[in-house]
Structure 1
Amino acid sequence: MAVVPLQVDIAPNSDGLPGIAQLRTIVGAVMTIGLILSVLALVISAVVWGFGSNSSNPHLAGRGKIGVLVSCAAAVICGASVTLINFFWSVGQQV
């Protein structure tokens, strides 16, 4: 018969490996780049949507609308990524 430990308590260790602070800086920079690219995609998609609507081109207008929605979703995901990870981490700790 195998002995199974009743409780294992492991928490994240921010001092365990060298370079964790630099990795946090890199992740923050990538999040900033993602938000900037989302704004750029929003502007380009809005221009495409307007051009498609004014030129009576429903395909182009539809592509612009989809681009606006996708860029807004990407901005929401980039902005809320830390909150989402913390939420799911706390949910995972309760399982």
Structure 2
Amino acid sequence: MININPNTTGLPGIAQLGVIVGAVMTIGLILSALALIVAAIVWGFGANSSNPHLASRGKLGVLVACGAAVACGAAVTLINFFWSVGHSV
């Protein structure tokens, strides 16, 4: 039976890579919040100006921004879940 686990000390720079990934996740969450605000404003302008195309684009933008925030926030949990599923196969 072979038992191989991830080696966190095998390569130089692994700790720095973890810091970089955390920073990218933070930037992704900040940009998702900004996109949500802009899309909500577009949705509001579209609804108040009786422009259904603009309102629908704003709604889509809100959904995309929320989806991006969920993806950034759940990335580590999803990776850990599928890692454990892979170990059970």
Aligning the two structures, in what range does the TM-score lie when normalised by the shorter sequence? over 0.9
The residue that corresponds to 2:29 in the other structure is 35
Cα offset for 1:9? 1.0
Find out whether 1:10 has 2:9 as its counterpart. no
Which of 72, 76, 87 is the aligned partner of 1:82? 76
1:45-83 Cα offsets, whole Å, 9 max, x none, are: 000000000000000000000000000010001000000
Task: After the TM superposition, list the runs of 4 or more consecutive aligned residues in structure 1 that deviate by more than 2 angstroms.
Answer: none
Distance 1:93 1:12 in 2: 12
Cα offset for 1:26? 0.2
Distance 2:52 2:58 in 1: 10
The count of aligned residue pairs is 89
3-state SS in 2 of match to 1:23: helix
Percent identity for Structure 1 against Structure 2: 75
* TM-score normalised by length of structure 1: 0.92
Which of 40, 52, 69 is the aligned partner of 1:46? 40
**Bigger Rg over Cα:** 1
